[in-house]
Amino acid sequence: MNNKKLLSFVLSAAMAATSIFPATVYAAVSGDINGDGSITSADLDILQGYVLGKHDITEEQFKVADINLDQVVDVYDVTALRKRILSTDRTLSFKSVTERINDGITDTLKKLDIQAGGTVVKSTAELKAALSPYFSETLVNKYLTKYNDDFFKDSVLLIKPAYFDPAKYTKNGTITKLSCGCDNSYAGLYTTGPTVDQGLNIRKEHDFNSASLGQIPPGEKFNITYAHGTANGDFGHVTYKGISGYVNMAYVTKLSSTAPETIAVPDLRVDSVKYSKGTVTVSATEYNANSTVNFAAAVLAQVVVPKKDYYASKAQWTVTTTTTTTTTTTTTTTTCAYPLAKARMEQKNIKTLKDAFIDCSNKNVTAVYVEWEKDASKITLQKAADYGFNSRNGNANAVAKGNCYVLAAMFCEMARLLGYDAHLINGQVPLKVGGYGPHGWVEIIENGATYVYDPDYTLESGENGFALTYGHTVWPLQKLGEIK
């Protein structure tokens, strides 16, 4: 089989249908924030960084980042972009390994059609189930060690076992190997190499330190029957004018071959990994590798795809796209996700999380009733924060006005601009008089731990409410974290 055959095997990503949203849902918004022509995790990184206040984006980027078309770029757009990435066709980056296997092959593998599909595995249990029908327990355990539980924390594995019928691939001739390690694949007519000017020693052993039994004059022709390589230190079996011994293969030149015809070794080369509508398609090429190693009837193609982005938890794999950028000189106008919070921080030189917390609580805010406070569904982060920032009427030293949601929202925006993963929480807490009342506070996740920041608690209790934990009893009316 000298012609290349293109293979295409479909690998199910085991994604629930509810995780996929039709591309037409987002047809009005590109989501291509970096402008590279594709919707990928690179765009998600830019959007998340912007929402967290780590960097600004241009006006044009702001337009395509407003995924839900509400004229605001916030965490809701992050969620929408994640969903859109799941519905966008794209090419995945991958690491491909193809191993030839001589032993441990079952009869089931011998019946496996080369065109048959591969399998996506996401755990050691799935890997064992996928390999066991085709390979021995010893071989399966080898791969379970190679791809252990730690591996599957970060990666998804796509595997494709294949069997090649020796009758279709083996050519005439058998490679014979001697006990010394030499084989007849190097057999042929040779002459001395161009650097031999006085004579080529015929050694007694496979060693240039062994005794010389004689020499082959420069330019003479001779036959080598067996060897184990052609590098310096590799020796070939030779008989010249009745003297049998070994010559250094680094100092000979092959004129013609008398070795058996080489064996074509079958292989699979993975060319691409692409995602579309919940399915991963791997395209591979079947070909005969140019090698003189012994024939291997089976191969196992392994495609490793990293799992490190948000949507990996739903799709069971992730996408890494390499983009090419060009440097151009342009004049752009940038916009901030939270302009009022940014302006306040510049006015008061707020540079730490505690400075931001104090500015949004204690003596800096006056508690007032806000007409929409009873309907938490109508309270957005920016709406609540803007109410508080605007209540100062441009006076940097004026006391702001607002309720618990306003205080928390102002602090949340400042925290994000400082680079923290902050979230405004709309919940209910138990009241001293019984029942529950609405309340708002902020969660900040740091190093996997969740901390609670409740500016309203500091205001009404006069105590230090900085960096609480859930279950902490705050002021007498509530116990934080009992959300209905």
**pLDDT one-digit tens code per residue, 407-446:** 889 999 998 888 787 888 877 776 667 777 778 888 887 7
| Structure tokens given for 140 | 């399966």
Same domain, 370 and 436: yes
Question: How many C-beta atoms lie closer than 10 Å to residue 386's C-beta?
Answer: 19
Most confident stretch, 3-7, 13-17, 105-109, 306-310? 105-109
Structure-model confidence comparison of residues 299 and 458, the more confident one = 299
State pTM to two decimals: 0.42
**Considering its fold, how many domains does the chain have in total?**
3
Phi, psi (deg, nearest 5) at residue 381: -55, -50
Read off the pLDDT band of 219 (50, 70, 90). Answer: very high
Coil, strand, or helix at residue 62? helix
169, 170, 174, 399, 445 from 263: Cα distances, Å: 8, 6, 8, 86, 60
Mean pLDDT of 211-218: 95
Range of the domain at 238: 184-257
Q: Give CA–CA dist 132/345, Å, rounded.
A: 61
Tell me the pLDDT band of 239, cut-offs 50, 70 and 90. Answer: very high
**Residues 240 and 387 placed together within one structural domain of the fold:** no
Q: For position 128, what pLDDT does the model report?
A: 94
Q: Are residues 279 and 422 in the same domain?
A: no
Q: Which residue has the higher pLDDT, 390 or 30?
A: 390
Q: How far apart are CA 279 and CA 285, in angstroms?
A: 20
* Structure letter (DSSP) for residue 14: -
Amino acid at 266: P
* Most confident region among 196-210, 295-309, 373-387 by mean pLDDT: 196-210
Q: Which helix (H) or strand (E) segment is 103 a member of?
A: none
CB 299 within 8 Å of CB 267: yes
Q: Give percent of the chain above pLDDT 70.
A: 72
Residue 249 tokens read as 């293969």
Paired residues of 367 in beta bridges? 402
Q: What's the confidence (pLDDT) of residue 275?
A: 74
Contact 81, 49 (CB under 8 A): no
Mean pLDDT of the chain: 75
Residue 15 scores a pLDDT above 60:
no
153 pLDDT band, cuts 50/70/90, is confident
Q: Is residue 85 part of a domain?
A: no
In a domain, residue 432? The reply is: yes
Residues 191 and 247 in one domain: yes
441 torsion bin: left (phi>0), alpha (psi -120 to 50), beta (else): beta
Q: Contact, 271 vs 261, CB < 8 A?
A: no
The dihedrals phi and psi of 103, each to the nearest 5 degrees, come to -115, 160
CATH code of 233's domain: 2.30.30.40
Q: Are 336 and 416 in contact (CB under 8 A)?
A: no
Whole-angstrom Cα Rg for the chain: 35
Q: How confident is the model at residue 169 (pLDDT cuts 50, 70, 90)?
A: low
The pLDDT assigned to 292 comes to 54
> According to the model, what pLDDT value does residue 255 have?
94
Identify whether residues 385 and 416 lie together within a single domain.
yes
User: In angstroms, what CA-CA distances link 469 with 51, 454, 473, 477?
Assistant: 25, 10, 9, 17
Do residues 96 and 157 touch, judged by C-beta distance below 8 A?
A: no
Rounded Cα gap, residues 438 and 111, in angstroms = 66
- What is the structure's pLDDT at 398? 80
Residue 474 in any domain: the answer is no
| pLDDT number for residue 182 | 92
Q: Is residue 55 part of a domain?
A: no
DSSP letter assigned to residue 93: P
Of 276, 385, 239, which Cα lies nearest the Cα of 8?
276
Q: Pick the most confident of 10-24, 258-272, 414-428.
A: 414-428
Residue 91 CA, distance from chain mean position = 12
Band (pLDDT 50/70/90 cuts) for residue 37 is confident
Answer whether residue 245 is part of any domain: yes
What are 466-472's contacts with CB under 8 Å, separation 24+? 466/354, 466/357
413 shares a domain with 455: yes
102, part of any domain: yes
Alpha-carbon span 90 to 1, nearest angstrom: 33
pLDDT at 445: 75
Please indicate, yes or no, whether residues 415 and 342 belong to a single structural domain of this protein: yes
Q: 223 falls in which pLDDT band (50, 70, 90)?
A: very high
- Whether 154 and 299 have beta carbons less than 8 Å apart is answered as no
Q: What are phi and psi of 250, to 5 degrees?
A: -75, -10
User: Mean pLDDT over residues 263-280, rounded?
Assistant: 71
pLDDT, position 464: 54
DSSP 319-383: ---------------EE-S-HHHHHHHHHHT--SHHHHHHHTSGGGEEE---TTTT-GGG--HHH
Question: Is 390 among the domain residues?
Answer: yes
How confident is the model at residue 434, as a pLDDT?
A: 72
* pLDDT at residue 174 tops 50: yes
Are residues 160 and 279 both part of a single domain? Answer: yes
At 246 the pLDDT is 97
Q: What is the pLDDT of residues 104-139, one digit of tens each?
A: 888 888 887 666 667 778 889 989 998 999 999 999
Look at residue 301 and tell me if it is in a domain. Answer: yes
Residue 460 has a pLDDT of: 52
Domain ends where: 199, 223, 257?
257
The conformation of residue 479, written as its DSSP 8-state character, comes to B
pLDDT band of residue 312 (cuts 50, 70, 90) is very low
Q: Is the pLDDT of residue 242 over 90?
A: yes
- 3 state SS of 412: helix
Residue with tokens 């006990």: 179
Helices (H) and strands (E) in the chain, counts: 14, 22
Going by pLDDT thresholds of 50, 70 and 90, the confidence category of residue 211 is very high
Neighbour count for residue 176 (Cβ, 10 Å): 14
Residue keyed to tokens 């090698």: 291
Structure letter (DSSP) for residue 184: G
> Which CATH number characterizes residue 362's domain?
3.30.2140.20
Both 297 and 352 in a single domain?
no
In a shared domain, residues 119 and 230? no
Last residue of a domain, one of 238, 257, 276: 257
Q: Does residue 274 sit in the same domain as residue 142? A: yes
Token look-up 């992050």 returns: 78
- Per-residue pLDDT for 23 more than 60? no
Q: Confidence class of residue 188 from pLDDT cuts 50, 70 and 90?
A: very high
Shared domain check, 442 and 375: yes
- The mean per-residue pLDDT over the stretch 367-391 comes to 74
Helix (H) / strand (E) containing 291: none
